[in-house]
Amino acid sequence: MMNFYDELTARKAAILKIKKMIVRSLAKTPEGSLRISHNGNREMYYWRKKSGDRTGIYLPKADLPTAKALAQKSYLNMTLKSINDELSAIDSYLENLPQNPCENIYEILSESRRRLIEPIWIPNEEYVASWESQEYIRKEIKDDVPEFYTDKDERVRSKSEVIIANELNKAGVPYRYECPLVIHGIKIHPDFTILNVKKRKEIYWEHFGKMDDPDYVNKTVWKKNLFLSGGYYLGDEFICTWETAKNPLNIKHVRQMIKHYCL
């Protein structure tokens, strides 16, 4: 299951960066605030330099940069308040977070009790083992296709697929090679069906290795559209890599994708 502690601490770190940027920007804004009034379709801007000033000084068109700076200041202050409220909520949640989240209760029980219980959430190790134990029929690789083997001694169709498979294996990401998937009655065999253990979510990874071949490109577009029509959105349930003869697969990009999508 998702680790909410990690999710929230990451969110906190992200908005703290934004807060620092806002504080720096506010230090450069003018004193006071902006009042906007309307005369028909015309907007009129007034600079209220003091907190007790309800009317303000009229800003002509030449002073539009001042009006913009004051409007920006108001926006930044509202954003800052929202960030502070969220930080307070995150800190309160983290402070009161149980030492053992509900997903972990089964794991802290004794073996004697585990044998008597049907868990609501099974541990990741058991979940992964169950997922990996599911049998499937791979797509046949014909004898005239060059032989490529992964570190797990699986036969795949290309050197690039060897790279992807080996990097997934090194990162400890469970995967199935060419496991069948049916979309609208059409059976396809995505290159890799990946299990994101943290989110307990399946992701389909296709590698398009002949993007300089027009016929292959047409098939690629058809397959991408098929995934989309089945509710598998690019960058969510469906990810892909691609290459041409002059632009081969970059192993660094593979590692970046695994870190971003699969872990």
Q: What is the pLDDT of residue 3?
A: 65
Whole-model pTM over 0.75: no
Provide the CATH topology of domain 139-262: Trna Endonuclease; Chain: A, domain 1 (3.40.1350)
Q: Where are the domains of the chain?
A: 4-95, 139-262
Q: What is the pLDDT of residue 255?
A: 97
Q: Mean pLDDT across the chain, nearest whole number?
A: 94
User: How many Cα atoms are found within 13 Å in the side-chain-facing hemisphere of 29?
Assistant: 22
CA distances to 167, 251, 253, 262 from 256, rounded to whole Å, are 10, 9, 5, 10
Dist. CA 253–CA 243, nearest whole Å: 12
Q: What is the pLDDT of residue 172?
A: 97
User: Which among 52, 53, 20, 55 is positioned nearest to 37, based on CA atoms?
Assistant: 55
Write out the chain's pLDDT in tens, 263 residues: 446 778 899 999 999 999 999 999 999 999 999 999 998 889 999 999 988 898 999 999 999 999 999 999 999 999 999 999 999 999 999 898 888 888 888 888 999 998 999 888 888 888 999 999 999 999 999 988 999 999 999 999 999 999 999 999 999 999 999 999 999 999 999 999 999 998 899 999 999 999 999 999 999 999 999 999 999 999 999 999 999 999 999 999 999 999 999 99
